Structure 1
Amino acid sequence: MSQHKVVLLLGSNLGDQKKNLETALEKIRQGGNEILQLSEFLTSDPVEFASSNIFCNIATIIFTHLSPIQLLDFVKSIEMDMGRINDSKVSGGYADRIIDIDIVKYNELKFVSERLEIPHKKHLFEREFSRILLKDFI
């Protein structure tokens, strides 16, 4: 079974944000993925929507045997298990969330579908907090 090197970005701005991120990372690990590297936690203001809740974010590099769509389904299942109700792709806009897990890079793959775009251009090029978290990863 081949292993794929993937960069994920996780964020939370509801509840105990650091605990939410740690829980999500543990669920990623329990799903048979190996966590290779973690960034420091970084707090940031919400991007592309207004909220008084500050985000806590972390980046990670993992090895996974999952395909891009399988990985997307897996991280979406973690989000739902943790209580995330609204998905920005479905609702058409951003809102406060207990957990958000984005696939930023998957090997050197370029992939575009209705549900997923790799690499995640907004995180790589447009969002300051993402550039800070990913500076040692990309």
Structure 2
Amino acid sequence: MSTATVYVGLGSNEGDREGYLVAALEALSRIDAVVVLQCSPLFDSAPVGPPQPRFLNAVVALDCGLPPQRLLTILQRIEQDLGRRRDGSRWGPRPIDLDILLWEGEVIADANLQVPHLELHKRRFALEPLAELAPHVKHPVLGVPVKELLARLDPQDVRRLLATQWPDLSPLVNES
């Protein structure tokens, strides 16, 4: 079975934010046909939407041998297992949020899944950690590298944080 590199955004703004991200990472590492390749550093960011606590964000690179819809189903199950409730409040606080940001060589557009993530190019909280892992990967629709998308953004309230539990699986090579 062929595999692809997939970039998944992780976010949490309830409870032990870093603990939820670590638990999600552990769950991702237990998925058959998925290998966690790298983890970005952690970033603290202001929420998008209604007033709520700040988010902790990261991005992980996966080597994935699953079809996109199957990975989405597993990600939603991990969210549910970690306490996420989908009660209609789309932009509300949540213990965990897992989003497929980019799928190597794929553009996916169906009712349940949009890849690349539709708002990726506008969101510093996703682009900052993604640029740590894949600065030269091009957005498959816009044709622009991640680091250039990041450079185009206006400043947003996003700052790098030191981790206490989050592993250091950062890139082995600095792609400047």
Structure 2 residue aligned with 1:7? 7
- Partners of 2:23 and 2:11 in 1: how far apart? 12
Q: Which runs of 5+ in 1 are unaligned?
A: none
Structure 2 residue aligned with 1:134? 130
Counterpart residue identity of residue 127, structure 1: R
Matches within 5 A, 1:13-92: 13-32=13-32, 33-51=34-52, 53-86=53-86, 91=88
Q: What TM-score, normalized by structure 2, do the two folds share?
A: 0.72
Shift of 1:38: 0.7
Contact 2:84–2:95 under 8 Å retained in 1 = yes
Aligned-residue CA RMSD in angstroms? 1.3
What is the SS of the residue equivalent to 1:27?
helix
Shift of 1:26: 0.5
Matches within 5 A, 1:89-128: 91=88, 93-123=90-120, 125-128=121-124
Structure 1 segments, 4+ long, off by >2 Å, are none
CA deviation vs aligned residue, 1:31-87 (integer Å, no higher than 9, x gap): 122111110000001112321x11101101001111010000000000001110126
Contact 2:49–2:92 under 8 Å retained in 1 = no
- Between 1:126-135 and 1:37-46, the stretch displaced more is 126-135
- Partners of 1:73 and 1:86 in 2: how far apart? 14
Q: Percent identity?
A: 32
- Partners of 1:30 and 1:93 in 2: how far apart? 28
- Partners of 2:2 and 2:41 in 1: how far apart? 28
Counterpart residue identity of residue 122, structure 2: E
Counterpart residue identity of residue 125, structure 2: F
What is the SS of the residue equivalent to 1:120?
coil
What is the SS of the residue equivalent to 2:49?
coil
Count of matched residue positions in the alignment of Structure 1 and Structure 2: 133
Structure 1 residue aligned with 2:159? none
Q: What TM-score, normalized by structure 1, do the two folds share?
A: 0.91
Counterpart residue identity of residue 43, structure 2: L
